[in-house]
Each structure stands twice: as C-alpha cells, then as structure tokens.
Amino acid sequence: MTMKPVTETERNTSPQDCAGCGKRINDRFLLKALEMYWHEDCLKCGCCDCRLGEVGSTLFTKGNLILCRRDYLRLFGTTGYCSACSKVIPAFEMVMRARNNVYHLECFACQQCNHRFCVGDKFYLCDNKILCEYDYEERLVFASMACTPSSLAQLKRQIGGLDGPTVIEDVRKGQTPPTATPSLHPTPLHHHHHTTTPSQQPQQQQQQQTTPQLLQQGPGQTGTQTQQQQHQTQQGSQQRPMLPVFTCSSPRHLNKGTPGHLTTMLGHFRRVTRACGAFRSKINVAVAPATSLRFLGTSSRFQTPNATDVSEDSPERWPLYLDAQATTPLDPRVLDAMLPYLTHQYGNPHSRTHSYGWESERAVETARQQVADLIGADKKEIIFTSGATESNNISVKGVARFYKSKKRHVITTQTEHKCVLDSCRALENEGWEVTYLPVQKSGRISVEELEKSLRPDTALVSVMTVNNEIGVIQPIKEIGAICRAHKVFFHTDAAQAVGKIPVNVHDLNVDLMSISGHKIYGPKGIGCLYVRRRPRVRVEALMSGGGQERGMRSGTVPTPLVVGLGAACNIAQQEMEYDHAWVSKLSNMLVDSITSRTSHIIRNGDPEHSYPGCVNLSFAYVEGESLLMALKDVALSSGSACTSASLEPSYVLRAIGAEEDLAHSSIRFGLGRFTTVDEVKYTADKCVQHVNRLREMSPLWEMVQEGIDLKSIQWSQH
C-alpha cells in the first residue's frame, strides 16, 4: 500500500484546473494529490463529504472513490474472524477480546447456559470451556459433596484459583488442594478494534480454524495430560495450574460504523461525520492504490455506494442546519463516551456500596474535572444541573433569597435571556427592586452606567457573556472588576460562550456562571453552574431532596449526560482555536456573499465585539417569516428558539433601537463546527434569490425604487 500525501505547491507558469469542480485555480497556492490539482474545498471524501484538504494528510482510493480513513475501513476493512462462529468481523464493529481471541458481542457467552457476558462480568476457563460464575460455582458444589469440612473451607477460599475439573477429581480421591494459593492475574476483556493487513489474514484464518476444536475438547482431553496432572498432584512438588479468572474492563471507546450502530444512527452520522476521521485532524492516512476517477459533471462529489449511504437527491432528505445558536448536533465522539453508561455501566453515582456506583462516580468526577479545566475553575466549584435555564434560576433566585435580609436590589440588562428576565420579574413580585440596564446600538452595555446603578443593597449583577440572538460579547472582565470592587456578586450566562471563545472565571472575576451542554455539541438536558468557593458564594436551593451537588441541586446525577458534557468540554478545549477560525471564515463568506449581491441589509449587533458564529441580518422590505418559509430547505430561525413561537418582534432587536419593521425582517444564521463551505454558499444563493423575489412582490420596495421616502408618508389607520 503506497502513501499519497497531500502537498502544497506554488503555481509557477500556467494556471491549473481543479480536478474536483473543473474550474480554474487562481489562488497562489493549490493542493496536489493523486497527481492532480485541487481547490482546498474540493478535495473531499466521496462518502461522508468530509474535507481532506489538509497539507500533509493522505487519502484512500478505492475504484472511483476518494475516501477518508474511517469510511474506507468501514466499507472495505475487516477486524478478523470470530473465534466462536468463525465468521468475518467487519472493521469498526465493537468486539470482545479475551486471551488473544476476538468474538462478536453475541457470540461471547457461557457455553453451559448461553449467558452473554457484559463489561464488568467475570468468566472462568474450565476444560477449555468458557463458563460464567454461576456455572462454575455449581461445579464446585458438586465437587464439595466428597470433601471433608476442612478441605471444603479451604476449597471455597480458593475459588477461581485452581482448575475446576482437576480439583473435583482429586477431592473425590480424598486429596486436599495445595496450601499455597497462587496469585491471580486477571486478564482484561475490552472492546477492541484494529485494522487487518493482508499479511495478517492467513494467520487469522488459521486461528479461526483451530479455535472451534479447542472449545469442543472435553474434560478428558488426552491421556498424557491427565497422567501428568495426577503425577504433579501426587508429588506435591509443583503447584497445580491455576484457573484463570478474567474480568471485563471498561471499553476505552466505542467505534462508529457497526452494522447496528450504522443502521440506527445513519441520519445522525450523515450530518455530523465531518467531526470524525481526517476532518480537521492533521493525521496521516494510508492510501490504497490510486485508480482513475469518474466525476459527476462539475460536482466535487464522487459516486458513493448505494448500499451503505442515503442519496442526497432524495426529496425526504433533511434540510441544511444553520441554527447552531438554538442547539448543536451531538458530536459522535461525545456519543461514544456516553454509550457505555447508557448500556452496561448503569450504576447510580451516589451508591457507595458496590462497583457499579463507584464506576459511575469516577465517571462523574472525571467529567466534572473536564468542565472545570475548560473554564479554569476547581472541580469542586462545578454543580451539575439540567441546563442553563436551571443554572440561571439558581443563580438569580438562590443568591437573592439567601441574602434577602441584607440586600434587596438586583441589576441585569434588557437583552438577557428570557429565563433571567422572568426570574427577575419573580423577584419583583417578592418585593425586590430590579434595574434593567439599557444597551447601546451596538448591543453592549455602558460600564459607566452600570457602576452608577450599583447601590449598597445590590446583591447581584447578571449580564450574559454572548447574546443568543445577535452574538454580541459584553465587556465581562470590566464588569467583573467593578462588581468585585463594590463587593457585589456577579453572575454571567455563558451558555453561548463556553467552548466557543476562551473563558476563564478568574480572569473575568466571575462569581457564578451558567453552562449548557447542548450548545457545545453535547447532550440535551444537562448543564452546570460554576459557584465560586473562595470567597464563598452562598445560594439557597430551589429544590429539596437528597442534598446532592453540595446541597444546591438535589436529585440523582444523570451519569450518561454528565459524561457527555465532560467529553464535549474536553473536545471544545482541544479544538476551540480551530473551530473559531473555521466559523469566522464561514461567517465572513456568508455576509460578504449576501451583502455584495443585494442592498438594504443590516447586520444587527457590533461586528467588532461579537461571536462570528451568530449572524443576525435584517432584510428591509421583506417579512422574516415569509423568508423563512421560502428557505424551506435550510433550517434557520428569526430569533431565540425560546421565543420564536411568538409573533412579537424580538425584544433584543427592539432594545438595540431597531425599528419594528426591521425587527420583523431579521434572520439568525447559526454557524458551527459541522457547517461546510458548500452549505454556506447554498444558503447565501437561496437567500439572495428569495429576497429579490419577495421584494418584487412588495409595493413598499417598488416605492423605494421610485425614490419615495417611506418615513415621510402619513399612513392612514382604519
């Protein structure tokens, strides 16, 4: 198998044509792979459409396909042969490995009762047969019928330490087991996968031919072996061969692409496979022998296997997803981390009496540390909740009610999330005074006005880090310094910021911070709250219960969701820099493509201080709902998902001074980790097309084209 690296070359004399799209490459630098030249965005996997245009990476080719490593192994690779059924195990299928043999999950079972082993179970090898713990103990009970009380007690102490059938035979002859018990060396059983090379296949075929014979051997085996064992027992000079006890350990990871996994999660992987394989991961991938490529017109997509994929031309395919501020797709790597705790590691993390609870508790604490590392906190300061809404309620209501005997004033902004505003209104009903700070036209608050609003009885200041509708980043560090100087607690809703921009609670002088899992490619229904410990922030719990999470949030911690949140934070910490650069590139491409081809478009918010993945545009003389209905093949929104069902204009846009007609015509584009260049180009083209079409039907647009100032017209009301 030869390697075909992707190289970067400088165009010297004549320009080259892209092998993917057929267009002329006018860039100064271009990519060269398979003796052809490519645009950076045209070199893609023909199956999952992930970008392979990383300098130094390598490709797989199979027939007329260019494939990434993951799809090549999923479609054409094998792991080996099952030692039980002798059938081929496809690559990336989750298998069980024990004693240098591999098994299908359904094949690895007790040969006495057909009990399937799970991770965490123990199994015994007796007469070359795999037995579960109950069947082995049953054999031991039958053997004890001929034992004396002393030998039986000694035999029970050595369960699993001796070969079962041999002990049974010896005890019935009145012989006692040896006094020295050899130490046990458990062999781990884990999910395993590897890539099989052609040189390894003959060895595996030979192995799968001999393994069934070993499993079928009975207790007699050969006369020579039995005589040797009896001779060693009578001499007593050598220890008897001990019975190995094997413990199933936790899998390091579950691999995508198994037949069952592929069938149930195909639609999910179709939309998020760009997080896997060679996508943005600078890894070297082996290359199969290259062959000629057959293109579909000028498209950069190659022909894909029909048996394992879903046609993109199908009318029932999902729309393009550009609503990352509402939620993000689950990263497949997060799903891999969660699966063990959704299946076999189902213990309650608060159970302290058995290994199920201990394993879950370790997973929860590991996830707690991963979240803390992302924001620069201590893991003891992380409180798991159901999401950012609950975290905001605990922060606003909990702090206010705990210090209500001394403090009666809270400060927030007019552009906060709905849950913060409603929590403040609930405090107003309890007799609290709430100051709603206005924002400037850019969407940012005035730090001087905030400092003027502070009072001796101010208990809390709550300002969100990144706005969920217009993406404006508030001056959190300056606000935190002011609150720290006046000894006022500072809370920030960082659901749209954590994992996307660098956030450090100590640098920002934050006392409380809300985080949501599904905003950073994690699972829904999980979030956390950072609560500073030194100096301590006291919070009154909103729920009564078992006192979990330091008494602030009672209830059983959902281990799978917490593990998913921790994995999402860990991935975000590693890929934040690249994700931000990727989203910035897509954001500039989207805005430039739309604004350069049509007029009267306003970008809401401050582009200089905003997260690039949130682009809010107002299209004058176009109704936003009409544009959303026209863009039926693109998933967009007109504002916050929590208030998008309301027909009222966005309160955030009204707060920054946007007119009512422009507030009604706004569209929010949410770009994320899995958004591609083709999706952005398609969305921009369709958006310009439908905006021009809707404006042609608008009488207001016709009046504007004729030079009539609509503000000078006095409209009559009926």
Where is pLDDT greater, at 247 or 593? 593
Using DSSP's 3-state secondary structure scheme, residue 475 falls into: coil
| 600-659: pLDDT as tens digits | 899 999 999 999 999 999 998 888 888 989 998 999 988 654 555 556 788 999 999 988
- Pair (589, 553) in one structural domain: no
Q: Which two tokens stand for residue 68?
A: 């990434």
Q: Give me the amino acid identity at 597.
A: R
- Say if residue 513's pLDDT is above 60: yes
Predicted TM-score (pTM) of this structure: 0.60
Residue 454 to residues 282, 426, 438, Cα–Cα distance (Å): 50, 21, 15
Q: The CATH number of the domain where 681 resides is what? A: 3.90.1150.10
Asked if residue 656 is part of any domain, the answer here is yes
Task: Give how many domains the chain has, as a whole number.
Answer: 4
Q: With pLDDT > 70 as the criterion, what percentage of the chain qualifies?
A: 63
Specify the pLDDT at position 142.
54
- Pair (457, 514) in one structural domain: yes
Question: Which among 559, 589, 615 is the end of a domain?
Answer: 559
Specify the pLDDT at position 432.
96
Spatial distance between the Cα atoms of 660 and 653, rounded to a whole number of angstroms: 9
Question: Residues 212-223: what's their mean pLDDT?
Answer: 33
- Pair (64, 103) in one structural domain: no
The answer to whether 92 touches 70, Cβ cutoff 8 Å, is yes
- Pair (419, 517) in one structural domain: yes
| 100-128: pLDDT as tens digits | 677 777 677 787 777 777 666 677 777 66
Specify the pLDDT at position 579.
94
- CA nearest neighbour of 548 among 382, 389, 388: 382
Specify the pLDDT at position 374.
97
Give the pLDDT band of residue 352 (cuts 50, 70, 90). confident
- Pair (126, 232) in one structural domain: yes
Question: Residues 240-268: what's their mean pLDDT?
Answer: 33
| 130-187: pLDDT as tens digits | 777 777 766 665 554 444 445 545 554 544 433 333 222 332 333 333 333 333 333 3
Q: Which residues form the domain of 555?
A: 380-559
Where is pLDDT greater, at 259 or 480? 480
b or e along 281-307 (b: 16 or more beta carbons within 10 Å of the residue's beta carbon)? beeebebbebeebeeeeeebbbebeee
Spatial distance between the Cα atoms of 345 and 361, rounded to a whole number of angstroms: 11
Asked if residue 442 is part of any domain, the answer here is yes
Helices 133-144 & 164-172 angle (0-180, nearest 10): 10
- CA nearest neighbour of 27 among 8, 5, 7: 8
Q: What letter would DSSP give residue 381?
A: G
- Say if residue 227's pLDDT is above 90: no
Q: Which two tokens stand for residue 535?
A: 């100096």
Spatial distance between the Cα atoms of 664 and 246, rounded to a whole number of angstroms: 65
Asked if residue 629 is part of any domain, the answer here is yes
Where is pLDDT greater, at 427 or 196? 427
Q: Give me the amino acid identity at 93.
A: E
- Say if residue 326's pLDDT is above 70: yes
- CA nearest neighbour of 327 among 267, 387, 276: 387
Q: Give me the amino acid identity at 55.
A: V
Where is pLDDT greater, at 79 or 220? 79
Q: What letter would DSSP give residue 180?
A: S
- Pair (414, 537) in one structural domain: yes
Spatial distance between the Cα atoms of 235 and 610, rounded to a whole number of angstroms: 83
Question: Which among 200, 215, 248 is the end of a domain?
Answer: 248
448: Cβ–Cβ under 8 A, 6 or more apart, which residues?
Answer: none
Spatial distance between the Cα atoms of 17 and 581, rounded to a whole number of angstroms: 27
Q: Distance between alpha carbon 209 and the CA centroid of its chain, in Å?
A: 41
Q: Which two tokens stand for residue 606?
A: 């401050």
| 11-54: pLDDT as tens digits | 433 457 787 777 777 654 567 776 777 777 777 777 776 767 66
Specify the pLDDT at position 681.
95
Asked if residue 202 is part of any domain, the answer here is yes
Asked if residue 324 is part of any domain, the answer here is no
Asked if residue 512 is part of any domain, the answer here is yes
Using DSSP's 3-state secondary structure scheme, residue 646 falls into: coil
Where is pLDDT greater, at 590 or 280? 590
Where is pLDDT greater, at 177 or 99? 99
Spatial distance between the Cα atoms of 264 and 269, rounded to a whole number of angstroms: 10
Residue of 18, 48, 147, 642 marked catalytic: 642
- Say if residue 233's pLDDT is above 50: no
Where is pLDDT greater, at 97 or 150? 97
Average model confidence (pLDDT) for the chain?
A: 74
Asked if residue 335 is part of any domain, the answer here is no
Specify the pLDDT at position 21.
78
Q: Count, in order, helices (H) and strands (E) of the chain.
A: 21, 27
- Pair (550, 582) in one structural domain: no
- Pair (187, 273) in one structural domain: no
SS3 for 268-309 is HHHHHHHHCCCCCCCCCCCCCCCCCCCECCCCCCECCCCCCC
Specify the pLDDT at position 114.
73
- Pair (425, 530) in one structural domain: yes
Specify the pLDDT at position 288.
28
The answer to whether 398 touches 427, Cβ cutoff 8 Å, is no
The answer to whether 670 touches 610, Cβ cutoff 8 Å, is no
- For tokens 């496979």, name the residue: 273
The answer to whether 532 touches 511, Cβ cutoff 8 Å, is yes
| Beta bridge mates, 125 | 130
Residue 650 to residues 300, 414, 635, 646, 654, Cα–Cα distance (Å): 40, 12, 19, 9, 6
Give the pLDDT band of residue 699 (cuts 50, 70, 90). confident
Question: Residues 666-695: what's their mean pLDDT?
Answer: 94
Asked if residue 350 is part of any domain, the answer here is no
Is residue 419 part of the annotated active site? The answer reads no
Question: Residues 207-214: what's their mean pLDDT?
Answer: 34
Question: Residues 69-83: what's their mean pLDDT?
Answer: 68
The answer to whether 615 touches 669, Cβ cutoff 8 Å, is yes
| Beta bridge mates, 90 | 78
- Pair (182, 310) in one structural domain: no
Question: Which among 529, 559, 589 is the end of a domain?
Answer: 559
Specify the pLDDT at position 50.
73
- Pair (548, 611) in one structural domain: no
Where is pLDDT greater, at 328 or 45? 328
- Pair (539, 420) in one structural domain: yes
Q: The CATH number of the domain where 5 resides is what? A: 2.10.110.10
